[in-house]
Protein backbone atom coordinates (compact mmCIF):
# COMPACT_ATOMS: atom_id res chain seq x y z
CA UNK A 1 0.00 0.00 0.00
CA UNK A 2 2.71 2.40 1.02
CA UNK A 3 4.78 1.33 -1.95
CA UNK A 4 1.83 2.00 -4.17
CA UNK A 5 1.36 5.47 -2.65
CA UNK A 6 5.03 6.26 -3.24
CA UNK A 7 4.72 5.17 -6.83
CA UNK A 8 1.74 7.41 -7.40
CA UNK A 9 3.50 10.46 -5.94
CA UNK A 10 6.56 9.76 -8.04
CA UNK A 11 4.44 9.53 -11.16
CA UNK A 12 2.60 12.72 -10.24
CA UNK A 13 5.92 14.49 -9.72
CA UNK A 14 7.29 13.37 -13.09
CA UNK A 15 4.09 14.35 -14.87
CA UNK A 16 4.07 17.76 -13.23
CA UNK A 17 7.73 18.25 -14.15
CA UNK A 18 7.10 17.41 -17.80
CA UNK A 19 4.07 19.70 -17.85
CA UNK A 20 5.85 22.66 -16.28
CA UNK A 21 8.96 22.37 -18.44
CA UNK A 22 7.21 21.90 -21.79
CA UNK A 23 4.70 24.60 -20.83
CA UNK A 24 7.45 27.06 -19.93
CA UNK A 25 9.37 26.40 -23.15
CA UNK A 26 6.23 26.67 -25.29
CA UNK A 27 5.05 29.89 -23.63
CA UNK A 28 8.51 31.48 -23.65
CA UNK A 29 9.24 30.62 -27.25
CA UNK A 30 5.74 31.27 -28.56
CA UNK A 31 5.53 34.52 -26.60
CA UNK A 32 8.84 35.74 -28.02
CA UNK A 33 7.82 34.93 -31.58
CA UNK A 34 4.34 36.46 -31.22
CA UNK A 35 5.71 39.62 -29.56
CA UNK A 36 8.06 40.14 -32.43
CA UNK A 37 5.40 39.49 -35.05
CA UNK A 38 2.92 41.77 -33.28
CA UNK A 39 5.30 44.60 -32.39
CA UNK A 40 5.14 46.48 -35.74
CA UNK A 41 1.43 47.06 -35.09
CA UNK A 42 2.62 49.56 -32.50
CA UNK A 43 6.12 50.52 -33.62
CA UNK A 44 5.66 50.89 -37.38
CA UNK A 45 4.24 54.44 -37.42
CA UNK A 46 4.11 56.71 -40.42
CA UNK A 47 5.55 60.05 -39.34
CA UNK A 48 4.36 63.26 -40.96
CA UNK A 49 6.79 65.34 -42.96
CA UNK A 50 6.62 68.41 -45.17
CA UNK A 51 6.61 67.52 -48.84
CA UNK A 52 6.81 69.80 -51.85
CA UNK A 53 3.83 69.35 -54.16
CA UNK A 54 4.35 71.66 -57.10
CA UNK A 55 4.15 75.38 -57.90
CA UNK A 56 1.44 77.19 -55.96
CA UNK A 57 0.80 79.64 -58.81
CA UNK A 58 -0.26 76.86 -61.18
CA UNK A 59 -2.81 75.61 -58.67
CA UNK A 60 -4.14 78.92 -57.40
CA UNK A 61 -7.52 78.82 -59.10
CA UNK A 62 -9.72 78.08 -56.08
CA UNK A 63 -10.50 74.60 -57.43
CA UNK A 64 -9.72 71.21 -55.93
CA UNK A 65 -6.70 69.55 -57.48
CA UNK A 66 -5.99 65.88 -57.15
CA UNK A 67 -2.30 65.51 -56.26
CA UNK A 68 -0.39 62.28 -55.82
CA UNK A 69 2.57 62.98 -53.60
CA UNK A 70 5.59 60.71 -53.51
CA UNK A 71 8.14 61.01 -50.74
CA UNK A 72 10.82 59.15 -48.84
CA UNK A 73 9.58 57.41 -45.74
CA UNK A 74 10.38 54.50 -43.49
CA UNK A 75 7.95 51.61 -43.64
CA UNK A 76 9.26 48.71 -41.57
CA UNK A 77 12.48 47.62 -43.25
CA UNK A 78 11.79 49.70 -46.36
CA UNK A 79 13.35 53.13 -46.56
CA UNK A 80 12.02 54.30 -49.87
CA UNK A 81 9.27 56.00 -51.79
CA UNK A 82 5.72 55.89 -50.53
CA UNK A 83 2.70 57.40 -52.24
CA UNK A 84 -0.30 59.26 -50.92
CA UNK A 85 -3.26 60.98 -52.62
CA UNK A 86 -4.51 64.40 -51.47
CA UNK A 87 -7.01 67.01 -52.69
CA UNK A 88 -5.72 70.58 -52.53
CA UNK A 89 -7.47 73.91 -53.02
CA UNK A 90 -5.27 77.03 -53.22
CA UNK A 91 -6.64 80.55 -52.76
CA UNK A 92 -3.73 82.96 -52.84
CA UNK A 93 -1.75 82.20 -49.70
CA UNK A 94 -4.55 80.14 -48.24
CA UNK A 95 -4.32 76.42 -48.78
CA UNK A 96 -6.86 73.75 -47.93
CA UNK A 97 -5.81 70.08 -48.14
CA UNK A 98 -7.85 66.95 -47.61
CA UNK A 99 -6.77 63.35 -47.53
CA UNK A 100 -8.40 61.28 -50.28
CA UNK A 101 -8.76 58.28 -47.99
CA UNK A 102 -12.40 57.49 -47.26
CA UNK A 103 -12.91 57.18 -43.50
CA UNK A 104 -15.22 54.21 -44.03
CA UNK A 105 -12.96 51.47 -45.40
CA UNK A 106 -10.03 53.31 -46.89
CA UNK A 107 -10.76 53.62 -50.62
CA UNK A 108 -9.64 56.82 -52.36
CA UNK A 109 -12.54 59.25 -52.96
CA UNK A 110 -13.08 61.15 -56.23
CA UNK A 111 -14.08 64.78 -56.55
CA UNK A 112 -17.35 65.19 -58.44
CA UNK A 113 -17.29 68.56 -60.25
CA UNK A 114 -21.06 68.64 -60.82
CA UNK A 115 -22.16 68.27 -57.23
CA UNK A 116 -19.02 69.72 -55.69
CA UNK A 117 -18.83 66.67 -53.42
CA UNK A 118 -16.33 63.91 -52.83
CA UNK A 119 -17.69 60.49 -53.66
CA UNK A 120 -16.28 57.18 -52.64
CA UNK A 121 -16.39 54.57 -55.44
CA UNK A 122 -16.54 51.67 -53.02
CA UNK A 123 -19.65 52.10 -50.90
CA UNK A 124 -21.07 55.43 -52.11
CA UNK A 125 -19.92 57.53 -49.18
CA UNK A 126 -20.31 61.25 -49.86
CA UNK A 127 -18.39 64.18 -48.35
CA UNK A 128 -18.98 67.88 -49.04
CA UNK A 129 -16.31 70.32 -50.20
CA UNK A 130 -15.16 70.91 -46.61
CA UNK A 131 -14.63 67.18 -46.13
CA UNK A 132 -17.69 66.71 -43.89
CA UNK A 133 -19.40 63.36 -44.34
CA UNK A 134 -22.91 64.03 -45.67
CA UNK A 135 -24.29 60.65 -46.68
CA UNK A 136 -23.53 56.97 -47.04
CA UNK A 137 -21.64 54.78 -44.58
CA UNK A 138 -18.85 57.17 -43.42
CA UNK A 139 -19.23 58.38 -39.83
CA UNK A 140 -16.23 60.71 -39.87
CA UNK A 141 -15.17 63.55 -42.13
CA UNK A 142 -12.14 63.28 -44.41
CA UNK A 143 -8.84 63.89 -42.62
CA UNK A 144 -7.26 67.28 -43.16
CA UNK A 145 -3.60 67.93 -43.81
CA UNK A 146 -1.50 70.93 -42.92
CA UNK A 147 -0.52 72.82 -46.05
CA UNK A 148 1.11 76.16 -46.89
CA UNK A 149 2.75 78.12 -49.66
CA UNK A 150 6.45 78.76 -49.20
CA UNK A 151 8.58 80.57 -51.76
CA UNK A 152 5.88 79.95 -54.32
CA UNK A 153 5.90 76.21 -53.67
CA UNK A 154 2.97 74.28 -52.32
CA UNK A 155 4.03 72.39 -49.20
CA UNK A 156 1.97 69.62 -47.65
CA UNK A 157 2.50 67.87 -44.34
CA UNK A 158 1.76 64.19 -44.83
CA UNK A 159 0.45 63.71 -41.28
CA UNK A 160 -3.31 63.19 -41.23
CA UNK A 161 -5.26 65.41 -38.85
CA UNK A 162 -8.23 63.32 -37.81
CA UNK A 163 -11.34 65.46 -37.41
Partner 1 sequence: MFGRLIEVFDRRLGFREEFKRNVLDHPVPPRINLTYCFGGITFLLYLLLAVTGVAMLFFYVPSIDHAFVTVEYITFDLPLGNPIRAIHHWSANIMITAVFLHMLRVYVYGAYKNPREFNWVTGVFLFGITLAFGFTGYLLPWDQKAYWATKVGVLMPKSLPVAGPFLSQLLMGGDDLGALTLSRFFAIHVAVLPILTVIFLAGHFWMIRRLGISKPL
Partner 2 sequence: MAEKNDKKQVLFYPDFLFKEAIAALIVVIAVVALALALPMKVGDPADPSDSSFKPRPEWYFMAPFYLLKIFPSSLEIVPTVVLPGLVFIALMVFPFLDRNPETSPRKRPVAMALMGGGVVLTILFTVLGISA
Quote the DSSP letter at residue 130.
Answer: T
Does the protein bind partner 2 through residue 116 (CB under 8 A)?
Answer: no
DSSP codes of every residue in 70-114: EEEEEETTEEEEEEEEEEEEEETTEEEEEE-B-TTT-PBPEEETT
Does the protein bind partner 1 through residue 36 (CB under 8 A)?
Answer: yes
Site for partner 1 in 74-103 (CB under 8 A): 76-79
Does the protein bind partner 2 through residue 27 (CB under 8 A)?
Answer: no
From candidates 22, 44, 91, 115, binder to partner 2 by CB under 8 A: 22
Nearer to partner 1, 29 or 85 (CB): 29
From candidates 2, 4, 5, 37, binder to partner 1 by CB under 8 A: 37
Tell me the C-alpha distance between 65 and 56, whole Å: 11
Question: Cα dihedral sign for 74, 75, 79, 83?
Answer: negative
Residues that bind partner 2 (CB under 8 A): 11, 14-15, 17-18, 21-22, 24-25, 28-29
Amino acid sequence: MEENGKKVTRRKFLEAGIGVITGAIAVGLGGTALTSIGAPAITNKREGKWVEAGNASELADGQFHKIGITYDAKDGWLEGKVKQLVYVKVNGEEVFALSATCTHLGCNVNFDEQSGNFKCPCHSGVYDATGENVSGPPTHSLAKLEAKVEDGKLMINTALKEA
